[in-house]
Structure 1
Amino acid sequence: MSKIARANRTTAQNIARWNNLADPNAIEVDQVLRVAPPAGTALASAPSSTAPARTGGGTSSADTAPAVSGGAIRPATSISLIWPVQGDVIRGFDGKSSKGIDIGGTPGTQIVAAAAGSVVYAGNGLRGYGNLLIVKHNADYLSAYAHNRALLVKEGQSVAQGQPIAEMGDSDTNRVMLHFELRYKGSSIDPSRYLPPR
């Protein structure tokens, strides 16, 4: 919260007040926060100038057919993702205790951007995620990459689909893995429905 406040030249107390947060430490990845008084802007980050990611490689039928995910129908036009890392899915998405998928691996394994976009968060300030990257792909989609050993990109940097962005690790978890989340308009959705079959 303090990092968001500094970036927007205000105080954490103001952000907590403007968003009616009882516990300012309990914010979630991709939660939309008001960073100006209610009469002002309601978004925590400026819209990305990056065009929606539709690059080749890794398209799936999810791009053309509506599907139910977490109780909501997702749009027919979607985002084209590639797997951010090779490895076994050791935990799936359930929308409650798991808001993404966990992919096992070895320390230092290279993690790549699942789609092109702009890095909107790079740090370890969100409890439970360790070293975390969040990439904004377009106005609707964000992806999050948690528990990294090292971050290879910085906030504000544009990334291409398939570009190395982090190294797999076990920061803030008890085993080496990538926790990968996909958000659509702020809601967690099952990334495996958007990833190509393998």
Structure 2
Amino acid sequence: MGRRFGAAIGRAGWSWLPVSRGSRIVVALLAMLVGGCGARLGPAPVYVPGEPAPAGFYRIHAGDTLSDIAVREGIDTKTLVQWNDLEPPYEILAGGLLRIAPPARPRPSVEPITPSVGRSTPSERPVPTVSSIIGGGAQQAPEPPKPKAATRRAPNRAAEPSARPAVDSGIDWQWPIVGRVVRTFDAGDRTRQGIRIAARPGQIVAAAATGTIGYSGGGLTGYGNLIIIKHKNKYLSAYAFNRRLLVTKGEKVTRGQPIAEVGQTTGGETQLHFEIRKDGAAVDPLQFLPRRH
């Protein structure tokens, strides 16, 4: 509360104070003292515009919401609220810093990290699409490190029914996860360009077919942590709302290889959003995946 009071005085200006210059100086000192009180976790590092966010912090961008950042970083929203000492209605401001790592006691010195590539504001770039990312039209978000254990996991064959698909694409497809389809494809609805499959938090997502990773990151609005795989015959598959990404761009993967862990959608549901595209256009995945009995 002390910080907000001090900031409010700074934003309001001095024109409303009918006092002398000396009185203004006294009030300014009081505002500085009040603004330094009340922080339970200690003040955030000093931030200079244009510099990267310190380690353990995220620089808030225009259009960001607390829930979006929580999903992107794989952190519970309540945890972010506690770490940052936020109060209802949990407002965050573009350009500010948000703690995304637990505070240590005593706090270590804060070292700057390399600026994230592709973290420009919406006014500085067009909104990217799945097709533009594959075509190189959008900047890539930073790719997470690949865990060493990811390549040692056995292929996920459990999601593979035996019935033939309705469309023969020349590609041997399999289901990316075992789960119930809770939302189907609708070519006329831009929000339903794929299917949604219910899952457990952290459930392994498998490559639906052999190919090359064309994208692995969180820079595409509305998809969370996203993986796109390029396949033969101008097909690609997309896997959205992942909690953790296990592969990086340029990596070759085989059908059934673990590539991610299931996370949450922007609505908070634990689901995988799965798309198949031909020549950049979305098609119904249920026409290509093996039919379930």
Report the TM-score when normalising by structure 2.
Answer: 0.47
User: Which residue of 2 is the match for residue 175 of structure 1?
Assistant: 269
Distance in 2 (alpha carbons) for counterparts of 1:125 and 1:100: 19
Verify: 1:86 aligned to 2:190, yes or no.
no
Q: Which of these two proteins has the greater Rg computed from alpha carbons?
A: 2
**1:110-157 residue CA offsets vs partner (Å, 9 max, x unmatched):** 110000000010000000000000000124100000000000111110
Q: Deviations over 1:39-95 (max 9, x none)?
A: xxxxxxxxxxxxxxxxx985724344xxxxxxxxxxxx4322100000011100002
Q: In structure 2, what is the Cα distance between the partners aligned to 1:59 and 1:120?
A: 29
Partner Cα separation in structure 2 for residue 160 and residue 91 of structure 1: 27
Of 119, 124, 132, 2:226 maps to 132
Whole-angstrom distance in 2 between the partners of 1:102 and 1:111: 13
Shift of 1:172: 3.6
Point out where structure 2 has 5 or more consecutive residues left out of the alignment. Answer: 1-115, 138-159
* Residues 262, 270 of structure 2: 8 Å contact kept: yes
Alignment of 1:84-163 (within 5 A): 84-95=176-187, 96=189, 97-163=191-257
Alignment check: 8 A CA contact 2:161 2:291 kept? no
Count of residues in Structure 1 that have an aligned counterpart in Structure 2: 151
Contact map agreement 1:92 1:98 (CA 8 A) in 2: yes
> 1:24 aligned to 2:125?
yes
Task: Give me the CA root mean square deviation.
Answer: 2.8
| Structure whose residues are more often helix by fraction | 2
Q: Which has the higher contact order (CA 8 A, sep 6+)?
A: 1
Task: Tell me, in whole angstroms, the C-alpha distance in 2 between the residues paired with 1:142 and 1:112.
Answer: 14
Counterpart residue identity of residue 84, structure 1:
P
- Structure 1: segments with no counterpart, 5+ residues: 5-11, 13-21, 36-55, 65-76
- State the shift of 1:26 in Å: 1.9
- Which one has the bigger strand percentage? 1
State how far apart, in whole Å, the 1-side matches of 2:136 and 2:252 are. 24
